[in-house]
Chain A
Amino acid sequence: MSHPQEAAEFLKDTAKSKWHDDTLWFIRDKRDKMSKTIPEWEELRELASSIKDNVLGNLADYLEEFERNASKNGIHIHWAKDAEEHNTIVLSILKKKDCTAIVKSKSILTEECHLNPFLEKNGVEVVDTDLGERIVQFLGQPPSHIVLPAIHLKKGEISELFHERLGTEKGNEDPYYLTQAARHHLREKFLAAKVAITGVNFGVAETGEFVVCTNEGNADMGVHLADTHIASMGIEKIIPKRNHLGVFLRLLARSATGQNITNYNSHFRSPENGKEIHIILVDNGRTAQLGRENFRDSLKCIRCGACMNTCPIYRRSGGFSYKSTVPGPIGSILSPGLDLQKHSSLPFASTLCGSCTDVCPVKINIHEQLYLWRQEITKAQGTSIKGLSMKFGNGIFKSPLSYNYSGKIMRMALKNLPKSLIYNPANVWGKQRDLPPVPNESFKEWVKKNRP
């Protein structure tokens, strides 16, 4: 199904879609209030955007600097050109460590690479340790939001799921009770895992260290108990200097959830004695996107999810309606670069309202890129009925005479045809909306009479 069909399905449950909208709006509102307590907020956004400009302009150099420094610190660096290479590298490390059960903290990149099904097929048990991720994993679903993976579920549904999977009391919806149950369940998994996988929020070129931000501390729990830490990192996650973290960490949590700071910002620089850290630097379409001048700025994204929370479309259609690992406005400008055909309806799932652009902490011109993708998509689709009607429209509008006549004919038709004919099934506008009343004369006709 395309986005419009998915959205219509989502909206059928009016109460739930309203709840979804209100819940995400609450977070957007919290973000607004929090960002307004920082007088230099707009300067921070500008600075973050400029730092990312510099990163994208010198990406190869920073990546090599990062590799040199991380290697000096005793970290193993791997390079993966795509998802397949990434997954193969992970599996080869697991095989070397003779490991058949791993814990993973939230990482959109591993979702992008479809690591879980790949490892499971190869006999490895994967446990997502972020609470929301564990919930969707139980359900066999992907995350519906990059920061709030289970935001599409209400606590009653989670209570029911935990009753089935973790044996909690039927009907007990107390969040504390349910969280405790998940905690006990996950603790066993943490203790058993020899390898832990995390994502990376920031990789610092000058020091070779990387930073992982979580609210639940699950990444730390996983990597400190395991002997081997594998960090999957998109190549655009590089920042030049450690003090740049002062810019990004201030923006990230406030934009994401309206918190001052993420609860755990953990820096990983070198492995403990007897342990190993591996970083897999993943391209998977990123250099191709870097080469697209109109769309390269999409790589500035720090995955805060603010554009999802603010998007009036996302809030009312849910993350699954996008059918892409990263949903929402940012997903709609990243995904067409990966598969134009599959994601061709996404840039049209927007009114171009521009809220995403104004909320973005790194000032990506998201709605402008949506507009630009539309131009690319119609080109790639070749001749279409829509395309021909647009050419026809241009034919009318470039000639005043044909415009005047078409307008007159349209108004006459609307005025004189019976209502049943006007509100026919092909009139999508009229399904739930009335057409405006038709005036006797156009403004142009009025001018002729009144301002000769």
Chain B
Amino acid sequence: MIVFNFKIRLVAIFVFQKDCLTYYSLMENNTKPQIALFIPCYVDQFYPNVAIATLEVLEKLGCQVTYPMNQTCCGQPMANAGFERDTLGTTKHFIETFAAYDYVVCPSGSCVLHVKEHSPKAQGLEKEQEALHNKIFEFTEFLTDILGIEKLEGSFPHRIGYHASCQGQRGLRLSSSSELNEKPFSKAKKLLENLEGLKWVELARTDECCGFGGTFAVSEEALSVQMGKDRLEDHISHQVEILTGGDMSCIMHLQGIAQRQKQSIKFKHIAEILNQILK
């Protein structure tokens, strides 16, 4: 326990709050909490580097991480298209795959939100399903709320534009919403803002949707692309060098448009940035 703390104090300052207590209390008898990594299907297939970065960041922060090999998809694409009732098999498989772990961490807000709010009730697995909903976390919120990271140290001298995915932001409340009269906050910003040389760029429309929206990207192609172009324009006109975010689906859409338009802005998942700075 002491060694563990010493090792991580080199790179991060931890402030233990209410939610962290459960995590750290699990370590009392010298067994680390078992964390399962949930990698969304399209990240598994198209962005293995993002998954590797997520895994390595957690490991560097002293976590005991397993990647359950039987995982597939959470069912979100089908449910958002109006076929939640047809995702029961996928949902049951998901619950069975992850039931045994203390925590489930995923580098995508929208998949986590789906599991928590839109997966159909799995008969016979009610207890496991409810438990799962309370132990599944999006990557940045796991770092700030469960591990209790208050500040990360390292150097990343770049102008960063953050794209808050709507389902992470307004669904999981990973950052304040511009519509609400609330104190501004952002879990991602907390992790990035203290990095040496990093410039967090404020955008004209801080939390407008990028237009990905799952099947919307195809069924409303014209709108989806226009929304993406507008979002990119906001970043580019503010001289953003690297556009980052917590959801690869938004980034895949934005990057696809930028590439087609031969725009030179770069894209990274926030886990890739953190993995680069953590030693």
Contacts and interface: CB of A to CB of B under 8 A. Distances in A.
> Is A bound to B?
yes
Interface of A: 3-4, 7-8, 11, 17, 21, 25, 32, 35-36, 38-39, 41-42, 310, 312-313, 316-317, 348-355, 357-359, 371, 374-375, 377-379, 386-387, 390-391, 393-400, 403, 407, 410-411, 428-429, 431-436, 438-439, 441-448, 451
B221 A443 contact: no
Given A355-B209, A397-B75, A398-B72, A434 B256 contact: yes
Given A312-B209, A354-B170, A397-B89, A32 B179 contact: yes
A348, A433, A438 interface centre (most CB from chain B within 10 Å): A433
A451 to B, nearest CB: 7
Given A348-B216, A348-B220, A390-B78, A403 B72 contact: yes
Contacts of A429: 217-218, 221, 256
B253 interface: yes
A103 to B, nearest CB: 37
Given A371-B118, A377-B82, A438 B46 contact: yes
25 contacts: A4-B220, A8-B221, A25-B205, A32-B178, A36-B181, A312-B208, A312-B211, A316-B227, A316-B230, A317-B223, A351-B214, A351-B216, A357-B170, A387-B83, A390-B78, A403-B72, A407-B44, A411-B45, A428-B218, A436-B46, A436-B256, A438-B46, A442-B45, A443-B52, A451-B67
Contacts of A395: 89
Contacts of B252: 436
Contact of A443 (B51, B75, B207, B211): B51
Given A350-B216, A433-B260, A407 B41 contact: yes
Contacts of B220: 3-4, 7, 313, 348-349
Contacts of B215: 348
A35 B219 CA distance: 35
Interface string B44-76: 111111011001000000000001011111010
A17 B39 CA distance: 38
B255 A436 contact: yes
A317 B211 CA distance: 13
Given A355-B209, A394-B86, A434-B260, A442 B221 contact: no
Nearest to A25: B205
A386 B81 contact: yes
A378 B82 contact: yes
A428 B80 contact: no
A11 B71 contact: no
Contacts of A7: 220, 222-223
Nearest to A396: B72
Contacts, number: 208
Nearest to A398: B89
B269 to A, nearest CB: 12
Contacts of A11: 222-223, 226
A416 to B, nearest CB: 15
Nearest to A7: B223
Contacts of A8: 221-223
B223 A4 contact: yes
Contacts of B216: 348, 350-351
Contacts of B48: 439, 441-443, 445-446
B44 A443 contact: yes
A447 B62 CA distance: 19
B16 to A, nearest CB: 29
B83 A390 contact: yes
Contacts of A349: 220, 223
A293 B278 CA distance: 50
A41 to B, nearest CB: 4
Closest 9 pairs (CB-CB, A-B): A351-B213, A433-B256, A398-B89, A374-B82, A378-B82, A354-B170, A358-B179, A353-B166, A8-B222
